[in-house]
Amino acid sequence: MSASKKEPPKQTFEQSLQRLEEIVDHLEQGDVSLDESIKMYEEGLALSKACMDKLTQAEVKLKKLSKDIEGNFQLIDDQPE
Amino acid sequence: MQSDPSVLTVSELTHRIKRMLESGFSSVHLQGEVSNFKRHTSGHAYFTLKDENAQISAVLWRSRVQQLSFLPEDGAKVIISGRITVYEPRGNYQIEVLSIRPVGIGELQMAFEYLKRKLAAEGLFDSEHKQSLPPYPERIGIVTSPTGAALHDILNVLQRRFPGVEVVLRPTKVQGIEAAADIADAIREFNAFGKVDVMIVGRGGGSLEDLWAFNEEVVARAIFQSAIPIISAVGHEVDFSIADFVADLRAPTPSAAAELVVRDRSALLDTLRNYWYTIHQTVTQMVSDRKDQIRHLLSSYSFNKPIDLLRRHTQRVDELDRSMAASVAHRVALVRSHADALHHRIKALDPQLTLKRGYAIVSKNDAIVSSATMLHANDAIDIRFHDGNVSSTVSLTTPT
Q: What is the pTM (predicted TM-score) of this model?
A: 0.65
- The shortest C-alpha distance from B186 to chain A (Å) reads 9
Residue A2, sorted as left (phi over 0), alpha (psi -120 to 50) or beta, turns out to be beta
Q: Where are the domains of chain B?
A: 10-103, 121-126+136-263, 351-393
B337-359: average pLDDT: 76
The order of strands in the sheet holding B198-203 is A73-77, A61-67, B166-171, B139-144, B198-203, B230-234, B249-251
Burial of B42 (0-12, 13-18, 19+ CB in 10 A): exposed
The nearest alpha carbon in chain B to A15 belongs to B136
Topology, domain B121-126+136-263: Rossmann fold (3.40.50)
CB-CB: which of A24, A52, A73 is closest to B278? A24
pLDDT in tens, B196-247: 999 999 999 998 889 999 999 999 999 999 999 999 999 988 889 999 999 9
Q: What distance in Å separates the CA atoms of residue B196 and residue A66, rounded to the nearest whole number?
A: 14
B303 pLDDT above the threshold of 70: no
Do the interacting molecules here have an ipTM over 0.90? no
Q: State whether residue B13 sits within 8 Å of chain A by CB.
A: no
CB-CB: which of B135, B165, B272 is closest to A48? B272
The order of strands in the sheet holding B388-393 is B367-368, B361-364, B380-385, B388-393
Nearest 5°: phi and psi at B26?
Answer: -80, -15
Reported confidence tier of residue B119, pLDDT bands at 50, 70, 90: very high
What is the reported pLDDT for A4?
43
Q: What distance in Å separates the CA atoms of residue B225 and residue B337, rounded to the nearest whole number?
A: 117
**Rounded to 5 degrees, what angle do the CA atoms B149, B154, B155 make?**
100
Q: Does domain B10-103 have CATH number 1.10.10.60?
A: no
Find residue B151's DSSP bridge partners. none
- The shortest C-alpha distance from B260 to chain A (Å) reads 16
Asked if B159 lies within 8 A of A60 by C-beta distance, the reply is yes
A to B CB pairs, distance under 8 Å: 108
- CA distance readout (Å), B196 to A63, B50, B165, B264, B281: 12, 47, 11, 20, 38
